Structure 1
Amino acid sequence: MDTDLLTTAEAAAHATRARQWLSGGVAAVSPAAIRSWASRGYLPRAGLTETGRPLYRLVAVARAERVTRGRALRLVGIPEKGPFGLGGAAIPRSAQRKPESGTTIPDLSVGK
């Protein structure tokens, strides 16, 4: 099996790690959410397991998590606006710093 292919449970665990980092451990992604992303077209299936269950590419899971992140974080009380659009509470003040004069911050958003 290809190492970048994930089962539904593995995809949920991967997306949960990202969401919990951004939400301070509040938000999680369930396997049902992964199935919902797939049925809504956010997450394309990349293959099937030997038992016929869907597999997803790691990069596609990361993209789907990013696309669905805003609403999910709002549901747990974290505003969408803030540094890098992650929500004001997502990045602790101690980790935030202003760029040195003359430098620019690259736009790292996906899908633009």
Structure 2
Amino acid sequence: MGDLDIDHLIAAQAAQYADCARQFVSAGAAHITPATIRSWAHRGHLTATGLAADDRSRTYRLADVARDELRTRARALRHVSIL
């Protein structure tokens, strides 16, 4: 996954981390994009912790990203039924 600041991630890095976790549990069937991370933030599920070195990109805590990935996965699995 490259060099990640383990404390604070920009949306692209957060998506990369969350997508890796989602790929593992979904056998490659689900993806998380930077737009998903920004959507979580826009909806109030994920709080930005600051700005990256470019003074433009918001950063997010890795623990918060992991928590929200688990939360959305659990919510999605409630809507899956086995026929």
TM-score, normalized by length of structure 1?
Answer: 0.60
Greater gyration radius:
1
Match of 2:69 in 1: 65
Match of 2:42 in 1: 39
The structure-2 alpha-carbon separation of the partners of 1:33 and 1:62, relative to structure 1 and needing over 3 Å to count, comes to same
What do the CA deviations read for 1:64-108 (whole angstroms, capped 9, x no partner)? 111111344578xxx48xxxxxxx9xxxxxxxxxxxxxxxxxxxx
Q: Distance in 2 between matches of 1:26 and 1:32?
A: 18
Which amino acid letter does the alignment assign opposite residue 35 of structure 1? R
Unaligned ranges ≥5, structure 1: 81-87, 89-112
Unaligned ranges ≥5, structure 2: none
**RMSD between aligned residues:** 2.2
Which amino acid letter does the alignment assign opposite residue 66 of structure 2? A
Q: Distance in 2 between matches of 1:27 and 1:54?
A: 24
In the alignment, is residue 50 of structure 1 matched against residue 50 of structure 2? no
More helix by share: 2
Name the % identity: 49
SS at match of 1:15: helix
Instruction: Tell me the number of residue pairs that the alignment of Structure 1 and Structure 2 aligns.
Output: 77
Which amino acid letter does the alignment assign opposite residue 62 of structure 1? A
Q: Distance in 2 between matches of 1:73 and 1:13?
A: 21
Tell me how far 1:50 sits from its aligned partner: 2.6
TM-score, normalized by length of structure 2?
Answer: 0.79
**9-18 vs 49-58, which moves further:** 49-58
Higher RCO (C-alpha 8 Å, min separation 6): 2
SS at match of 2:45: coil
